[in-house]
Amino acid sequence: MDKKTVRDIDLQGKRVLMRVDFNVPLDDGKITDDTRIQAALPTIQYIIEQNGALILMSHLGRPQGVDPKLSLRPVAERLGGLLGQKVGMAPAVVGDEIEALAKALKPGEVLLLENTRFESGETKNNSELAEKLARLGDVYVNDAFGTAHRAHASTVGVAEKLPAVAGFLIEKEIKFLGKAVADPESPYVVILGGAKVSDKIGVVENLLNKADTILIGGGMANTFLQAKGLEVGESLVEPEALETAKTLMAQAGEKLVLPVDAVIADDFTNDANQQVVTVDHVPPGWRILDIGPETAALFKNELAEANTVVWNGPMGVFEMPSFAKGTYAIAEALAGLDAVTIIGGGDSASAINQAGVADKVSHVSTGGGASLEFLEGKTLPGIAALDEK
């Protein structure tokens, strides 16, 4: 998977059409978190420095047709502020007027197209739309990893019509996730958690033969514990995944490590009564909401010698402070390791940020669904569409 990047092509004087992920949270038209805009800056600045005329495009939310509330205009303003230069706002995604704007754009200037999902052809990967997009640029760059698992006009269709390369964000994702899937350095430990087993079956199946150890925590551990015959009270369990859990345990044998203790509560609230018990002592009416201290210690011990670690899924209901300790313990353990440490998944990324150690791990993936599909070994169409080196 050796894909060309912006470093591999000549951008001088070219019109560069770049797909970014500017799908930022908005509250009443105001951007509440600009992390995604900040994340795109290195590639944007590089293209400006290389004297490319930059045309940016992104989706925002899920509009059904044109919806002024989901205009990217606030993003153009914020990006302009961050770059310290004007960012032009196009009144639409494609069309004659937009083509004229793109043609008139000078090297070093930046134009942002309207929300790509204002065009109904976007999510259908309509080839006419892709053709119109392709007319706006001489080369195409994709730096939106979060949508790389979707074959849309702005991620796949247009990439097939222009020279197509990766930006720095996608380059980093391919470097870390690609190596973790294809060529991880052992000992290789995978930590899986989160709400549901059914979300992660593909990941377990794909990594089972590659990993030396798979640590299971979070809500998904409950289904495994019940599959082993333990009583888990009111804990979140997926009855339809019990058989799969049994099969995976049989396949994995010693490799698969389950919690030995848990923080349980008598209600699904932060101030519920809580206690720590071993996993074979969950009373009726109680539920598992975090891994216990012995499990955290056991997992830390399993991690100590690792050279590669992939973590996907929180160890407990970390949104509630009372049940965040297990997740934070694992985050801190990872931060202290001398290993390649990779965090995948939207909630896991928030958890590592909340724990304050995001800068102490090797890579925090910017794509929730996309990183999961990557770890499942699936080909991401947005990456497959980029030119090979």
66, 75 Cβ separation under 8 angstroms = no
59, 154 Cβ separation under 8 angstroms = yes
- Among residues 346, 360, 377, 378, the one annotated as catalytic is 346
User: Rounded to the nearest 5°, which phi and psi values hold at 367?
Assistant: -120, 125
In one letter, which amino acid is 306? A
Interface stretch with ligand ADP, choices 151-159, 171-179, 193-201, 377-385 (CB under 6 A): 193-201
Taking phi over 0 as left and psi of -120 to 50 as alpha, with beta for the rest, 71 belongs to beta
In eight-state DSSP terms, residue 222 is H
Q: Answer yes or no: 360 catalytic.
A: no
Return the number of the residue (87 or 148) whose C-beta is nearest ligand ADP: 148
- Minimal distance, residue 63 CB to ligand ADP, in Å: 24
369 binds Mg ion (CB under 5 A): no
- Binding pattern for the stretch 345-374 against ligand ADP, x by CB under 6 A and - elsewhere: xxxx-------------------x------
Task: Estimate to the nearest angstrom the gap between the alpha carbon of 29 and the chain centroid.
Answer: 24
Q: Answer yes or no: 117 catalytic.
A: no
Name the 3-class secondary structure at 182.
helix
- Binding pattern for the stretch 284-313 against ligand ADP, x by CB under 6 A and - elsewhere: ----xx----------------------xx
Residue 326's binding partner, choosing from Mg ion, ligand ADP, none, with beta-carbon cut-off 5 to 8 A by kind?
none
Interface stretch with Mg ion, choices 2-10, 108-116, 244-252, 338-346 (CB under 5 A): 338-346
199 binds Mg ion (CB under 5 A): no
The strand pairing partners of 165, in sequence order, are 141
Residue nearest Mg ion by beta-carbon distance: 347
Q: Which two tokens stand for residue 133?
A: 């997009």
Report d(CA 244, CA 122) in Å as an integer: 36
Of residues 184, 219, 292, 381, which one binds ligand ADP by CB under 6 A? 219
Return the number of the residue (146 or 219) whose C-beta is nearest ligand ADP: 219
- Binding pattern for the stretch 309-348 against ligand ADP, x by CB under 6 A and - elsewhere: ---xxx-xx-x-------------------------xxxx
Return the number of the residue (121 or 316) whose C-beta is nearest ligand ADP: 316
- Minimal distance, residue 225 CB to ligand ADP, in Å: 11
Q: Answer yes or no: 196 catalytic.
A: yes
**DSSP per-residue letters across 247-295:** HHHHHHGGGEE--SEEEEESSSSTTS-EEEEETT---TT-EEEEE-HHH
357, 336 Cβ separation under 8 angstroms = no
Of 237, 213, 212, 208, the C-alpha closest to 225 is: 237
Its sign, for the CA torsion 29, 350, 87, 130, is negative
Of residues 346, 350, 378, 387, which one binds Mg ion by CB under 5 A? 346
Residue 313's binding partner, choosing from ligand ADP, Mg ion, none, with beta-carbon cut-off 5 to 8 A by kind?
ligand ADP
Q: Which two tokens stand for residue 2?
A: 């050796």
171 binds Mg ion (CB under 5 A): no
What's the residue count for the chain?
389
Q: Answer yes or no: 346 catalytic.
A: yes
Return the number of the residue (18 or 315) whose C-beta is nearest ligand ADP: 315
Contacts with ligand ADP: how many residues (CB under 6 A)? 20
Residue 187's binding partner, choosing from ligand ADP, Mg ion, none, with beta-carbon cut-off 5 to 8 A by kind?
none
Of 202, 216, 210, 285, the C-alpha closest to 244 is: 202
In eight-state DSSP terms, residue 157 is I
- Among residues 196, 246, 360, 378, the one annotated as catalytic is 196
Return the number of the residue (107 or 368) whose C-beta is nearest Mg ion: 368
- Among residues 36, 78, 132, 150, the one annotated as catalytic is 36
236 binds ligand ADP (CB under 6 A): yes
**DSSP per-residue letters across 74-98:** HHHHHHHHHHTS-EEE-SSSSSHHH
Its sign, for the CA torsion 334, 336, 341, 344, is positive
Any idea which residues carry the catalytic annotation?
Answer: 36, 196, 346, 369
Residue ranges binding ligand ADP (CB under 6 A):
193-195, 199, 218-219, 236, 288-289, 312-314, 316-317, 319, 345-348, 368
* Residues of the shown chain interacting with Mg ion in the complex, contacts defined by CB under 5 A: 346-347
